[in-house]
Amino acid sequence: MNLPFDKNITVSKLVSIFRSTSATYKFYWFWAILEAIESGKKTITKRELFARMISLSWYTVNYFKVSFGKQDVIQSAVEQIKDLENLSIDSSQEHILSTLLNTRNKETLSLLNHFDKNVPHKFLSPWLGSGSKSEIYEKSDNEFGKVPYRLEKDCLELSDVWFAYFKTHIALLKTFCYWNLTLFLQSRNPNVPDIPNKINRPIQRGSLSTHKTRFWDLVINEIGAVNCIYTNKPLEIGGYAVEHFIPYQFVAHDLMWNLIPADSSFNSKKSDKLPKLDDYFDSFYETQKMGFDIVKALRPKNKFLEHYLPLFPNQVFEKNKFEDHIKPMLSIAHNNGFQYLEL
């Protein structure tokens, strides 16, 4: 991805900052700097930047459970801070940032300060090389203007030319950071679907009302009721929820092949838990096949039938093929931290 040329700075070195990186630190550090600049700051405390790194990675770690790698401290810091500060996975970025800027919890502060060991000065390696921390701090002062910022004990100060460049091109630079972070996380989560949509917190989850009225209501209206695969309770129109068999937090989509009618009270209990294949797959498959066959017969042009085409291009359900699609996804989700449903 190309960045805009500027005769006053070395853009080529900026382009190279994410090469040969083994953790997410540089991505979130740069993203945090851009967020602070966007709020009008030219001198930024390290504590604010470390807090922004946590808030920016919050949803990816806590909600979608994307793996950063075993050696990446950001992931473990986010998980620990959630408990230390009694924050929910749905906390807004603004609330997380405010909490971390004002906390006095020594354990939280220790987790934030851990990033000061390497992140601020190693980000400058394209410009200043790979010297010791003290050497890079001194060089950042001596070559202020050539490098993006000067490092001090508790803060950094952006040079005039770099501040102007960042501010002018901030939207493109965020895209540059986001794109490189996506590539990095995809390389470490090759079997996890839809990584790009798991980096930012979704503004709003899509409604499943049309999935209910234009698909499952048709099925229930045709046969009278559908039994919930979890509780065996008969489900009638107006008395059920549509739920993700594999949690939304893992698949990040609302495709019909993963959606079934369920007991409303059980749906809230299931939350982001994984159904055990041995316990629920047979019932899930039979409900899906029945729903597909009925809707196909009643409304052959129903748009939700298209959701099944990647699995069954000839529109003929095959149980083994469906299981071969579902089983590894459950296994990968569990390996990434999703827990199995226990009754």
Q: Which amino acid is at 342?
A: E
Question: Is residue 271 in some structural domain?
Answer: yes
Is there a single domain that holds both residue 35 and residue 78?
Answer: yes
Question: Is residue 342 in some structural domain?
Answer: no
Phi and psi at 45, nearest 5°, equal -70, 150
For the residues 280-286, what does the mean pLDDT come to?
A: 96
Is there a single domain that holds both residue 127 and residue 269?
Answer: no
For the segment 315-341, what is each residue's pLDDT rounded down to a tens digit? 889 999 999 999 999 999 998 889 998
Question: Is residue 2 in some structural domain?
Answer: no
The pLDDT assigned to 204 comes to 60
Please state whether beta strands 155-158 and 226-227 pair in parallel, antiparallel, or not at all (unpaired).
unpaired
Give the count of domains, the chain: 2
Tell me what the pLDDT averaged over the chain comes to.
Answer: 93
Contacts of 176 (CB under 8 A, 6+ apart): 1, 3
Tell the residue number behind the tokens 């890079």, with chain if given.
136
For the residues 1-12, what does the mean pLDDT come to?
A: 90
For the residues 85-99, what does the mean pLDDT come to?
A: 94
For the residues 1-21, what does the mean pLDDT come to?
A: 91
For the residues 249-253, what does the mean pLDDT come to?
A: 89
The pLDDT assigned to 315 comes to 86
Is there a single domain that holds both residue 45 and residue 170?
Answer: yes
| Of the residues 144, 172, 198, the one at which a domain ends | 198
For the segment 196-238, what is each residue's pLDDT rounded down to a tens digit? 989 987 656 678 999 999 999 999 999 999 999 999 999 999 9
Is there a single domain that holds both residue 259 and residue 192?
Answer: no
Is there a single domain that holds both residue 165 and residue 35?
Answer: yes
**Helix (H), strand (E) at residue 106:** helix 106-113
